[in-house]
Structure 1
């Protein structure tokens, strides 16, 4: 039975990892300056012979919902910051003003929002497929154990319940994000 409990525990852990990865990917979806500024702060800037998160080498200011200003503490690295932001592919182009960088976020149109939802839906479906693969892999592990058929069926049933739980969590996360995108 310990082997079976280990399988359940690994199954849950693997499915939780997929859910967290999905959340991380989808949280990158831009809705305004507040969500963008959190990603900007994590961008790695190559300066002084190593990499630093942007938040450690500059001050990031939210001017309004569509504008962000970045003031590096050392003006000599402004071009490095500019380059790193462009390479991060967040969907906007920074403007280098000499002593600061200005970012103007484009207005989200209805069409952009619908495309964003389609993209998120694809990521969500991919996460569900990965969860189902984990279910199948763990069911195979259960079948390889030297246990009775009844215990094996009970184990597979429990794996299915865990799978259903995570599929539901993924769907709920998608619905919440879809509502958020359409509301703004």
Structure 2
């Protein structure tokens, strides 16, 4: 039974990793300045012979829903910040104003929203495929164990419940992002 519990634990852990990765990918799909802020904070800026998260070398200010400003603590690194944001390829261009960087987030058109939804749908479908692959892997692990057929069948049923729960979480994540994108 310990082997079975270990399989269930590992299966759940692997499926949670897939869900976490999907959440991060979907969260990166931006709509306004508030959704871009966490992404900008983590951008690595190469300066002072090292690499720092943007939040450690500058202050990021939300001006309004579609505008941000970045004020570096040392004006000498403004070009490095500019380059780091451009290299991140987030779908907008920073404007270097000399003392600070201005970012205007473009307004999404109806077509842009539909394209975002297609991207999100593709990512969620891939996540579901990964979850099903994990299910298959752990079902095979159960079959390799030297246990009774009843125990094996109940183990596979439990793996199926874990899989179903993970897929439901993926669907909830998709629906909440869809609501967010289509309601703005």
The equivalent of 2:85 in structure 1 is: 85
5 Å-filtered alignment, 1:41-120, equals 41-120=41-120
Separation in structure 1 between the aligned mates of residue 125 and residue 35 of structure 2, nearest angstrom: 24
Q: Which residue number corresponds to residue 122 of structure 1? A: 122
Counterparts of 1:175 and 1:59, CA distance in 2:
33
Following TM superposition, where does structure 1 have runs of at least 4 consecutive aligned residues deviating by more than 3 angstroms? none
Residues 1:133 and 2:133 aligned together: yes
- Whether 1:157 aligns to 2:157 is yes
Unaligned residue ranges in structure 2 (runs of 5+) = none
Count of residues paired in the alignment: 184
Q: TM-score, normalised by structure 1?
A: 0.99
Whole-angstrom CA distance in 2 between matches of 1:37 and 1:135: 36
Could you state the TM-score of these two structures normalised by the residue count of structure 2?
0.99
Alpha-carbon distance between aligned partners in 1 of 2:110 and 2:171, rounded to the nearest angstrom = 22
Q: CA deviation at 1:174?
A: 0.2
* Whole-angstrom distance in 2 between the partners of 1:172 and 1:79: 41
Q: Deviations over 1:3-38 (max 9, x none)?
A: 000000000000011001100110001110011112
Q: Using the TM superposition, give the Cα deviation of residue 167 of structure 1 relative to its aligned residue in structure 2, in angstroms.
A: 0.5
Q: Distance in 1 between matches of 2:61 and 2:172?
A: 33
SS at match of 1:51: strand
Other-structure match for 1:16: 16
